[in-house]
Amino acid sequence: MERVVDPLAKRPSVLRAQSETIGFVVMVVALVVAPFVTYPLFVMQAMCFALFACAFNLLIGYVGLLSFGHALYFGWASYLSAYSAKAWGFPPELAILTGTATAAICGLVAGSLAIRRQGIYFAMITLALAQMMYFFALQAKFTGGEDGIQAVPRGHLFGIFDLKNEMTMYAVVLVIFLAGFLFIYRIIHSPFGEVLKAIRENETRAISLGYKTDRYKLVAFVLSATLAGVAGATKAIVLQLASLTDVNWPMSGEVVLMTLVGGLGTIFGPVVGAFVILVMQFKLAPIGEWVLVIQGAIFVACVLLFRRGVIGEIAHKLRIRL
Amino acid sequence: MFEIFGIPSTALFGQLLIGLINGSFYALLSLGLAVIFGMLNIINFSHGAQYMMGAFAAYLILQYSGLGYWPALIIAPILVGITGILVERFFLQWLYKLDHLYGLLLTFGLALIFEGVARNYFGSAGLPYTVPDSLRGGLNLGFMFLPNYRAWVVAASLVVCFGTWFVIERTRLGAYLRAATENPTLVRAFGINVPRMITLTYGFGVALAAFAGVMAAPIYNVSPQMGAELIIVVFAVVVIGGMGSILGAIVTGFGLGVIEGLTKVFFPEASNTVIFVIMAIVLLVRPAGLFGRRA
Amino acid sequence: MRRFMGLAALAAVLACGGANAQQVNVKIGVLSDMSSLYADIGGPGSVAAAKMAIADFTKDHPNVKVELISGDHQNKPDIGSQIANQWFDVDKVDLIIDTPNSGVALAVSQVANQKNKIFIVSGAAASDLTGPKCNANTIHWTYDTWMLANGTGTAIVKTGGDSWFFLTSDYAFGHALERDTMAAVEKAGGKVLGKVRHPLNTNDFSSFLLQAQSSKAKVIGLANAGGDTINSIKQAAEFGIVKGGQSLAGLLVFASDVAALGLPTAQGLILTETWYWDMNDANRAWTKRWQQERQGKWPTMIHAGVYSGITHYLKAAVALKGNVSDGKAVVAQMKSMPTDDPLFGKGTIRPDGRKVHPAYLLEVKKPSDSKYPGDFYNVRATIPADQAFRPLKEGNCPLVSG
């Protein structure tokens, strides 16, 4: 994948060194203000997808592995979270944990199979596994098939906070999103993250330096799947439903689109990309016929012209890191 | 009449034959993909959409010029092939120096555009297209009724598949093409117009998809999403067969058709998944595919 | 003075169009699939039908003002639920109508119940909407899986098709359709000789059709929908199934599917619908008007249902003098008034939210019998309203006690 030349080498400046912090503050402020100026349910959904895209970006942007079946973890976490809340009566925090655990296990199994190969073959294995799990979801009784799992109760967080209240739910989702985001940030800027980037640049060299690259890749894969699971599990509680859309391959394609539009390998790119794509979907809903065409056109434009994505381009122009 | 695993042999032979027929479809479709990837290193995700365009072209040719199936078999692939050439010239040629995956993403985007446009103008229910009169009816083979059209599909598919294989593997033109993908600079030094060859090859691969589309129009629903439904399966076929191998795509296409047919008899609910299971296994055991050259 | 006004308003309502009646402002949202699988059976055609309903009603009731919006749920329950939430909360929509795709319809039904607004389902089939998942804010118009299964199944057995083989789509909807039809067939004295389940969105049905052929059943029931049904029918024609003496029963087929197939392929197909454009003059006139917005297309019963549903809702709104904010009250009003419109004639809405009207057993004509474009069907039988839908007691709807 293309790489932005390290800006640190050229222009040291206060602005650049703290660009990520400033970006983070801006994001937090925007998200805190958002529910008072726009429709909270929409922003909550966008945050879930933003976390999903960030998790996906961990794999593609920092390890260089394109997973074409990430909907598997998102969707199955969503199903287990919904089912445990509805049928087993789990409180929301346990439901989300159940969903996340499911995604982690799926990630472990899928990852150990997929990372044996690279590049396009890796992508194809992830796609094959995702398709198999899609058909399983289609047939399994508990997923509700085409109808999905509906009327999932929001419940009371820790037995105290009533999540039916939109603002309470919003606060919870915001906390989850920021926690996930910061976790990813921490991973990227840790020694572990440096090794991942080294693997992305030149795996052979990393092996020759003594790193067991397969193990690193597997851990990164499982982390990515788990965080995608957090996003899916939370989404099930927010929207109170889990459906086949969440495990199907167009969903995998959508998260690729979100990350591409926002900027591969940037921290804030996936967040921006998720919001952009979701806003587009809703604004275009009245003229629904053209959604597919416009999505396709954006894909094409991004690949040809804006390979760095929105945030990537901004970061490049300003020579900062975002 | 004897039984194998509880299924009467006549039914089994019938299903095997049907599997072979389906396999010929898969082979035809994956042929174009294999040509494009094998020769050009492009993962053509818009192959399904181009297949759909072939079927739609056949319908439109019938609507606007009254020409039926047989002329459409030639005209539609040419028309769609030309659009393929335009795609290559305007979009794909900028991506050759980059990672494969950008080509995949671009063609994926193009597929969405083609499907969206088709849906806007034609709706999603589908368009009527019937089997040409000369191929109607069928043969009663005793163990099943074989429609003439299906027999034609197998025959045409075999001819086109092996014809393509022969041109690429056994003729001088094919040799130039294979050399050009391995070392374009050297081949250009010999005076051969490599960019033009690449463009024409992509156009040919797309034309193959469109040809499969015209063959499909009389029996499968001609709808904008007809390609999207097949593309994943066709990719699985190509990956299993070996992404660079023409012969691999052909043999795997037929083989998987038969396996899918058998699954439909013994375990019909799994007939969708079996191809992916096989793909996952093959990728883990022999990542280059059954006939592939590069790992 | 107040009593006089009250009487005048009542008189106005009874006279269906008094000049001095209360101002009624409502906002209606058509939530449908505008861009994919169901765009032809619902989609923009439903919007056109809605516009006609509003135009016709406000012509006679100038005191009624209706704002109409539309949205595309793209067959995704997520998006449908999100749009429904937004429409009810932010855009002040009072009524959502249409929604093909049972998964989306169930989700929207929940939202309408939570927000105490109204949801009229014209497009979706799930009989659960008036069964275990019923609620006081939802009305199920046009059709449902039980009616399809029962109508087609029973009627075919009565006309001699007493041995069946099922080709079923292997997911919840297909299973439900197969189960309901099997029950209807067996109750009517028929026999089920076998069944085969195919994965959703199957391209090639040859092996399944082969099994159906060798079963020698008189009727092959297609418990699937959309592209699967079209493919099964197309390929059945190829394999000479109808010519060989077996008939095909389409358990969920719309006029737009028949148009997509073309008569040579679809001829002989038996299906049940609750409305057909060519059945009487009123329908034909309505269709002509509808086609001005949707050239080249044919209206389905879903479009007719949207027209009928909106008309009845507006009547209820007028009867309530424009107080439409309490969804449950409006629905109760709609259930208390008998329905009457040019398309479905007279009917009622049951306590479980089920609108009842007659159903029609239809057979696709041979191409030689079709005199003009759109001349698709022969009407084989009429199923009276009280037999067409599942009996109230059998639904397990919580609203219906005992």
Give the model confidence (pLDDT) of B192-235 as tens digits: 888 888 899 999 999 999 999 999 888 888 888 888 878 888 88
Measure CB to CB from residue A249 to each of B101, B115, B232 and give the nearest one: B232
Query: With contact defined as beta carbons under 8 Å apart, do B253 and B237 qualify?
Result: yes
> Contact A292/C103, CB-based, under 8 Å?
no
> Contact A148/C74, CB-based, under 8 Å?
no
Whether residue C47 has pLDDT greater than 80: yes
Range from A2-6, A70-74, B120-124, C80-84 carrying the lowest mean pLDDT: A2-6
Pairing of strands B138-140, B145-147: antiparallel
Whether residue A98 has pLDDT greater than 90: yes
In A, minimum Cα distance to C74 occurs at A288
Task: Identify the band that residue C103 occupies on the pLDDT scale cut at 50, 70 and 90.
Answer: confident
Q: Smallest Cα–Cα separation from A45: which of B12, C291, C37, C77?
A: C77
pLDDT at C96: 95
What does the alpha-carbon distance between residue C370 and residue C373 come to, in Å, rounded to a whole number? 8
What does the alpha-carbon distance between residue B147 and residue B137 come to, in Å, rounded to a whole number? 6
Share of chain A above pLDDT 90, in %: 43
Q: Calculate the alpha carbon distances from C128 to C32, C215, C229 in Å.
A: 19, 32, 22
Average pLDDT over residues C160-178: 85
Contacts of C200 in chain A (CB under 8 A): 138, 146
Share of chain B above pLDDT 70, in %: 95
Q: Does C195 touch chain B (CB under 8 A)?
A: no
| pTM recorded for the entire structure | 0.82
Whether residue C116 has pLDDT greater than 90: yes
Whether residue B1 has pLDDT greater than 50: no
Query: With contact defined as beta carbons under 8 Å apart, do A254 and A235 qualify?
Result: no
Lookup: tokens for B182: 């391995």
**Domain limits, chain B:** 19-130+144-285
Query: With contact defined as beta carbons under 8 Å apart, do A297 and B109 qualify?
Result: yes
Range from A82-91, B249-258, B275-284, C352-361 carrying the lowest mean pLDDT: B275-284
Task: Identify the band that residue B2 occupies on the pLDDT scale cut at 50, 70 and 90.
Answer: low
Any chains having at least 3 CB pairs less than 8 A from chain A are B, C
What does the alpha-carbon distance between residue A67 and residue A225 come to, in Å, rounded to a whole number? 10
Measure CB to CB from residue C81 to each of A239, A244, A288 and give the nearest one: A239
pLDDT at B4: 58
- Residue showing tokens 């402020």: A29
Mean pLDDT of chain C, nearest integer: 86
Contacts of C68 in chain A (CB under 8 A): none
How close A161 gets to chain B, by Cα (Å)? 43
Mutate to test the interface with C, among B121, B215, B219 (most CBs of C within 10 A): B219
Pairing of strands C95-98, C24-32: parallel
Measure CB to CB from residue C201 to each of B21, B229, B268 and give the nearest one: B229
> Under CATH, which architecture does the B19-130+144-285 domain have?
Orthogonal Bundle (1.10)
Average pLDDT over residues C155-178: 85
Task: Identify the band that residue C283 occupies on the pLDDT scale cut at 50, 70 and 90.
Answer: very high
Could you give all domains of chain C from N- to C-terminal order, each with its CATH number? Answer: 7-143+280-353 (3.40.50.2300), 146-273+358-385 (3.40.50.2300)
Average pLDDT over residues C322-343: 90
Distance of CA A139 to the CA centre of its chain: 26
Residue A21's SS3 state is helix
How close B263 gets to chain C, by Cα (Å)? 10
How close C56 gets to chain A, by Cα (Å)? 24
Average pLDDT over residues B24-39: 87
What does the alpha-carbon distance between residue B228 and residue B52 come to, in Å, rounded to a whole number? 9
Annotate C349-378 with b (16+ C-beta within 10 A) or e (fewer): bbebbbbbbbbbbbbbbeeeeeeeebebbe
pLDDT at C333: 92
- Class of the domain covering A7-31+38-318: mainly alpha
Measure CB to CB from residue B91 to each of A139, A253, A304 and give the nearest one: A304
> Contact B144/C210, CB-based, under 8 Å?
yes
pLDDT at B131: 82
What does the alpha-carbon distance between residue B295 and residue B289 come to, in Å, rounded to a whole number? 8
Cα-trace Rg, chain C: 21
Q: Smallest Cα–Cα separation from A58: which of A245, A175, A189, A235?
A: A189
Query: With contact defined as beta carbons under 8 Å apart, do B68 and B130 qualify?
Result: no
Average pLDDT over residues A251-273: 91
> Contact A66/B101, CB-based, under 8 Å?
yes
Give the model confidence (pLDDT) of A164-194 as tens digits: 888 999 999 999 999 999 999 999 989 999 9
Whether residue B69 has pLDDT greater than 60: yes
pLDDT at C331: 93
Whether residue A1 has pLDDT greater than 80: no
pLDDT at B7: 62
Strand runs (DSSP E) across chain A, as ranges? 156-157, 161-162
> Contact C230/B272, CB-based, under 8 Å?
no
Mutate to test the interface with A, among C32, C33, C47, C72 (most CBs of A within 10 A): C72
Beta-carbon neighbour count of residue A113 at 10 Å? 17
Q: Does C126 touch chain A (CB under 8 A)?
A: yes
How close A144 gets to chain C, by Cα (Å)? 7
pLDDT at B5: 61
Element (H, E) at C259: helix C255-261
Q: Does C112 touch chain A (CB under 8 A)?
A: no
Mutate to test the interface with C, among B7, B122, B124 (most CBs of C within 10 A): B124
Mean pLDDT of chain A, nearest integer: 87
Q: Smallest Cα–Cα separation from B206: which of B90, B49, B69, B57?
A: B49
Average pLDDT over residues C127-155: 89
Residue C339's SS3 state is strand
Task: Identify the band that residue C11 occupies on the pLDDT scale cut at 50, 70 and 90.
Answer: very low
Measure CB to CB from residue C37 to each of B124, B130, B147 and give the nearest one: B124
Query: With contact defined as beta carbons under 8 Å apart, do B289 and B241 qualify?
Result: yes
- Residue showing tokens 């933003």: A50
> Contact A146/C110, CB-based, under 8 Å?
no
Mean pLDDT of chain B, nearest integer: 84
pLDDT at B6: 61
Give the model confidence (pLDDT) of B165-198 as tens digits: 898 888 888 888 888 877 878 888 888 888 888 8
> Contact A300/B106, CB-based, under 8 Å?
yes
Measure CB to CB from residue B265 to each of C207, C260, C297 and give the nearest one: C207
